[in-house]
Amino acid sequence: MNETLFSQIQRLFERTYAQVGINLEDCLIDRTRCTQLSILAGKSARELSELARTFLRLAGDQLYVGIYYSRWLIDQLERHDPRASLGDRNIRSLIMFVEELNHALHAALQFKRGVREIASEDFVRNLELQARVDTYLVLLLFVAFFRKTHRVSATDRRWLRFHLFAGQCPDAFRDPNLRGRYLETNQLASSYTRYLDSLNSMHRLDEIRRFHSLDYNTKKDRILALNDHGTTALQPSSHA
């Protein structure tokens, strides 16, 4: 039986980090449920993308996850399957697809480790930063797959970074907290992935596993320390 794109990416993340213990495809929700949960989320959800969203809710000692993808987004990925080719027509759709899956997976892994403060700003920023980093690495794998040498060129990396980092527009958010959240995590991820680009595959795997285990402020300190030592440069996202 052919695996779905969703299950393939979940399996990739689980091989990299840890088993989440559930099939996250079972957490997919439809438009009606997305609307209901968006209303419950209140004003914090009003400015978020209507193309894809992840919802988290604690009830007792259970974490409930809902992942929403719009029909338009799914149609784009079905019409231009990134497993067949990756280009300007489907890269933005793939980014949104991977990021929401990644949010759900890392939220579940953190919950398994005992983290319960899912409404805190640091928790949310941690998910955003981790998703930016992991999505960049997934995009590299897709590009490498379509190269005869399986090597990603500097031009490929510039193209990926443009769509993932420069293509985002945190200034578009009216809410100052959302604007600050996406601006900071975008800048940090852009900087950190430049550092990851300097590592060989084994060192990169060890590094991202250590990075994944850190809380948000420690991740931030890690990236800024790399910057202070001149290993990487923290640049505004529009220059990524």
Amino acid at site 185: T
Q: Residue 198 domain-assigned?
A: yes
Domains held by the chain: number: 1
Q: Residue 238 domain-assigned?
A: no
Q: Residue 206 domain-assigned?
A: yes
Q: Residue 108 domain-assigned?
A: yes
Task: Output the average pLDDT for the chain.
Answer: 90
Q: Is the pLDDT of residue 238 over 60?
A: no
Alpha carbon dihedral 102, 103, 107, 109, in 10-degree steps, equals 10
For residue 118, the enclosing domain spans 5-230
Q: Residue 240 domain-assigned?
A: no
Q: Model confidence over 97-150: pLDDT tens digits? A: 999 999 999 999 999 999 999 999 999 999 999 999 999 999 999 999 988 777
Q: Residue 237 domain-assigned?
A: no
Q: Model confidence over 170-214: pLDDT tens digits? A: 667 778 888 899 999 999 999 999 999 999 989 999 999 999 999
How far is it, in rounded angstroms, from Cα 151 to Cα 148?
A: 8
Q: Model confidence over 38-58: pLDDT tens digits? A: 988 887 677 788 899 999 999
125 Cβ contact partners less than 8 Å away, ≥ 6 residues apart: 181, 184, 185, 216
Q: Residue 239 domain-assigned?
A: no
Q: Residue 87 domain-assigned?
A: yes
How far is it, in rounded angstroms, from Cα 57 to Cα 67?
A: 12
Q: Model confidence over 25-41: pLDDT tens digits? A: 999 999 999 999 998 88
pLDDT at 170: 62
pLDDT at 177: 85
Closest among 121, 130, 77 to 103, alpha carbons compared:
130
Q: Model confidence over 207-224: pLDDT tens digits? A: 999 999 999 999 999 999
